[in-house]
Amino acid sequence: MVDERSVLVVEDDAALASMLRDLLEGEGYTVVTASDGQRALHEGLTGDFDVMVMDRGLPAIEGLDVLERLRHKGITTPALILSALSNPADRVEGLDRGAEDYLGKPFDIDELLARIRSLLRRHAETSASIRIPGGTLDVSTRTVTLDAAARVVLSERECEFLEHLARRPQQVFTRAGLLDAVFYDADDGGVVDTYVHYLRKKLGKSCVLTVRGLGYVLGPLT
């Protein structure tokens, strides 16, 4: 199951849109649908999505035109084009105009889900904005925005530490591993515990959880 991931589904076929919504919600995603290009543009500009699944042949504005407009507005949400227009030239056009992936109709459900998971993984590894339990970390500004709208500014090293945990949210990190990856210029492993203390003081005691005998893992912000 996926934890708190949101998908914008842009599809004018009502039956297919409903099927995609049920499928993705069954996998744990939060789903918003749009049935025409104008609505898709509005949702893409105003919503906060982790991935977009978009048809091409839409009313009002064609799907690739929607995607181009979003990209020109600085929206970097990864997009998978899901279209009956699926010959090589169509796929090349879709990728050249801003899509990260392209899947033809009819499609295999397991392949669609796998491609969405792949987009999420790649986006999580490169995005400057990382969603974490209870808030969002913006690496570019070293700012954590809590779901309650409060903002917390981190030091450069605090941000590096939290980013390292947040990009692998299920992984338990040993002190030695954290020293190598984040605190490579430190002589004493105690620096890891010191920065755990700093983050807990700023973001709540549960933001970094101790796994006894193993190390640390990302926890929820409070």
* H-assigned helices in 97-184: 109-126, 156-166, 175-181
- Residue intervals in the chain for CATH 3.40.50.2300: 5-125
pLDDT for position 168: 82
The pLDDT assigned to 169 comes to 82
Tokens representing residue 80 in the block: 């998978």
Averaged pLDDT, groups of 10, the chain, 222 residues long: 74 96 94 96 89 94 94 88 93 93 94 92 71 86 85 94 87 91 84 95 95 93 78
Task: Identify the pLDDT of residue 131.
Answer: 80
What pLDDT, on the 0 to 100 scale, is given for residue 75?
84
Domain 129-218 indexed as CATH 3.40.50.720: no
Give the angle subtended at the CA of 160 by the CAs of 131 and 124, to the nearest 5°: 35
pLDDT value of position 127: 67
What's the pLDDT score for residue 2?
40
| 3-state SS assignment for residue 100 | coil
Q: Which pLDDT value is given to residue 135?
A: 87
CATH 3.40.50.2300 fits 5-125, yes or no: yes
Residue 96: CB atoms within 10 A of its CB come to 9
* Neighbouring C-alpha atoms within 13 Å toward the C-beta of 121: 7
pLDDT at 25: 94
Q: CATH 1.10.10.10 in the chain, residues?
A: 129-218
Which residues are CB-contacts of 13 (< 8 A; sequence separation ≥ 6)? 55
